[in-house]
Structure 1
Amino acid sequence: MAKVLVLGNAGLDISLQMPRLPERGETLLGDGAMRAPGGKGLNQAVVAARAGADTRFAGPIGKDGMGEEIIRILGAEQNLVFEPQRLEGSSDFSLLMVLPDGENSIVTAGACAAAFSQEAASRFAANTEAGDLFLAQGNLTQETTLAGFKAARDRGAYTVFNPAPIWWDATPLLAHCDILVVNRGEAEAISGLDDPRAAAARLHKRGAKTTIITLGGDGCLVHSSGTTRHHEAIAVKVRDTTGCGDTFCGALCATLSLGHSLEKAIAYAQSAASITATRPGAFRALPSSAELSALCKTEA
């Protein structure tokens, strides 16, 4: 059975319920403090493992208490091997200030993700074998992510790229990308086109063998081999779309690693993401192993 190797970031999400945002120089008391592991790489690796894939995850964390907390939490996930790179200083984290109407403002510290080296990415990617899936996002630097893709491709692995969040030019990586997963806004940012069908075709021409554009409640578009197909969304009562993209990517790679077709993998990934959409938050909203197993029976 093929493996899923995820290269990405890991951190903690710390949230506070706030009556309003503080003014400049003001201190406000927050309530209902919660903390949970976070980071797109971490979330996608957890979903892939919960979906039954043999999953390895490499991510940078600091030599601090937060790093130890992340290791402890991921150690409880079956099918997941976490290979942290311990760096000096604090682990990455995000502070979420949640307002009474549900809107939030987020401040993120990402020094660990920025410091993850090209050499470390290449070493991790060298663990891939022909047929494995190598998944990365946009949190690490362009150079580090590209180094991982090149090393994985050299060993015959399939590369899957989810370039969110977009803070550097993703175009040079498209030629090293078997599957590109982007949402509507990301597709426009990379392609320069606001029409999803036209954007998918342009991204394919720039190198991505298969482009998947997720469209929220409108489902997703898949462009491959010169044709574009539309997949309907799963109808649910949406509460929070945070983490839906991570669930989609993790579930997609897991299904492909288990030998299923792209069509089945997309259907399964959409169903998994629909579960996340019905819950608030990110990590806490990810589907459980039991839920993902039940989806396998439904999609069979």
Structure 2
Amino acid sequence: MRLHVVGNVCVDTSFRLPRLPRPGETLNATSTVEGIGGKGANQAVAAARSGADVCFWAPLGDDDMADRVTEMLKSDLDVDRLIRLPLPTDRSTILLEEGGENAIVSAVVCARAFDPIQQTNLTEIWSKDDILLMQGNLPWEVIATCLKLAKRSDLKTVLNPSPLSDTNVEDLADVDVVIVNRGEACALTGLESPAAAADLLFDRGARSVVVTLGSEGSLVWDQADDAPFVLEAHRSAAVDTSGAGDCFAGTFVGLLAQGKTLAAAAKVATKAAAISVARLGTLSSYPSRAEFSEIIKISELENTWLGQ
């Protein structure tokens, strides 16, 4: 079973600050780091390191930066499905305060011009029982079309509708699993309670819903179950929270692609995200393949002890 991650990739520049600047204020950074980012790339790398067979579909520009991104991704992913567009490669600037909170500004012209149905052979490569994972960086019309065609081809579909810019989740008939954080769940449904928000997402067509709750863990709910499974978070000192949600989503779906249950996948994803927030950077903070192997092994032993 292959996992097709369709999304974006960009160059992240992170500025570490004692605090986030106020309007009109200039602050000097204590350090600066440049690396690969983008929700699509983040989730694809996390899934690949967890052991999944990942096909990553994303656009790059026609500049030197695109060459650097391609070279840097080679250690984790097959880069043959990255396409070039006559545009600048997408970029993000991350302002990271000492306490771990962040503010992000992105330039996403490549992502907004990307149409994988028209510009790639995605629909010729995917096959029945594969999984499609998408985020909210592409235009909603493109996302909706990919999800609809994937369901017609009998793929399992997963949507992490972040960022929420123009994402429309009124109709989720083509979505098997929705992954959102607490704030997104509230924004999409108007409901404060994560369980009530998940219930409304079921009404809109989703088959399973995962709501991540930060330091409070996550809520995992399949429509066939009477009540959600609430998973406690793993405690860790937050150093850099950027990309933690992508680490969770990519790991979670990567494990689904390896035949794990929703609950088992969420347990490992929670551990992986806890590791990532305790380290600086985005992809550089994610567990390595060796670390993932150990996390999965320990999780499986715990499930055996608990009789799960």
Counterpart mapping for 1:126-137 below 5 A: 126-137=124-135
Report the CA distance between 1:102 and its aligned residue: 6.1
Aligned 8 A contact 2:220 2:266 in 1: no
Structure 2 vs 1, CA of residues 124 and 103 (structure 1 numbering), >3 Å: closer, same or farther? same
Secondary structure of 1:197's counterpart equals helix
Q: TM-score, normalised by structure 2?
A: 0.88
Aligned to 2:51: 52
Structure 1 residue runs of 5 or longer lacking an equivalent are none
Report the CA distance between 1:55 and its aligned residue: 0.4
Structure 2 vs 1, CA of residues 245 and 21 (structure 1 numbering), >3 Å: closer, same or farther? closer
Structure 2 vs 1, CA of residues 102 and 268 (structure 1 numbering), >3 Å: closer, same or farther? closer
Name the CA distance, whole Å, in 1 between partners of 2:230 and 2:119. Answer: 34
Q: Which range moves more in the overlay, 114-123 or 67-76? A: 114-123
- What are the superposed Cα offsets for residues 203-254 of structure 1, whole Å, 9 maximum, x if unpaired? 1111110011111111111222252221222222332322121111111112
Q: Does 1:68 align with 2:106?
A: no
Q: Which range moves more in the overlay, 190-199 or 37-46? A: 190-199
Counterpart mapping for 1:273-284 below 5 A: 273-284=273-284
Aligned 8 A contact 2:229 2:263 in 1: no
Structure 2 vs 1, CA of residues 101 and 216 (structure 1 numbering), >3 Å: closer, same or farther? closer
One-letter amino acid of the counterpart of residue 45, structure 1: A
Report the CA distance between 1:34 and its aligned residue: 2.1
| Residue of structure 2 aligned with 1:186, choices 176, 184, 187 | 184
Aligned to 1:254: 254
Aligned 8 A contact 1:15 1:98 in 2: yes
Q: Which range moves more in the overlay, 165-174 or 289-298? A: 165-174
Secondary structure of 1:57's counterpart equals strand
Structure 2 vs 1, CA of residues 113 and 189 (structure 1 numbering), >3 Å: closer, same or farther? same
Aligned-residue identity in percent: 37
Secondary structure of 1:174's counterpart equals coil
- What are the superposed Cα offsets for residues 141-174 of structure 1, whole Å, 9 maximum, x if unpaired? 1011111111211211100110011001331452
Name the CA distance, whole Å, in 2 between partners of 1:67 and 1:236. Answer: 34
Counterpart mapping for 1:45-194 below 5 A: 45-77=44-76, 80-98=78-96, 104-117=102-115, 119-120=117-118, 123-172=121-170, 174-194=172-192
Q: Which range moves more in the overlay, 118-127 or 178-187? A: 118-127
Aligned to 2:208: 210
Name the CA distance, whole Å, in 2 between partners of 1:4 and 1:154. Answer: 17
Name the CA distance, whole Å, in 1 between partners of 2:213 and 2:200. Answer: 17
Report the CA distance between 1:103 and its aligned residue: 5.6
Name the CA distance, whole Å, in 1 between partners of 2:279 and 2:8. Answer: 23
Secondary structure of 2:60's counterpart equals strand
Q: TM-score, normalised by structure 1?
A: 0.90
Aligned 8 A contact 2:100 2:238 in 1: no
Secondary structure of 2:172's counterpart equals helix
Name the CA distance, whole Å, in 1 between partners of 2:151 and 2:106. Answer: 31
- What are the superposed Cα offsets for residues 79-132 of structure 1, whole Å, 9 maximum, x if unpaired? x44511211120000123456776654332111111112633784244222221
Report the CA distance between 1:191 and its aligned residue: 1.2
Aligned to 2:220: 222
Name the CA distance, whole Å, in 2 between partners of 1:136 and 1:123. Answer: 17
Report the CA distance between 1:283 and its aligned residue: 1.9
Name the CA distance, whole Å, in 1 between partners of 2:240 and 2:27. Answer: 26
Aligned 8 A contact 1:146 1:173 in 2: no
Structure 2 residue runs of 5 or longer lacking an equivalent are 301-308
Secondary structure of 1:213's counterpart equals strand
Aligned 8 A contact 1:125 1:134 in 2: no
Secondary structure of 2:238's counterpart equals coil
Structure 2 vs 1, CA of residues 141 and 266 (structure 1 numbering), >3 Å: closer, same or farther? same
Number of corresponding residues:
297
Report the CA distance between 1:22 and its aligned residue: 9.6
Name the CA distance, whole Å, in 1 between partners of 2:152 and 2:279. Answer: 40
One-letter amino acid of the counterpart of residue 222, structure 1: V
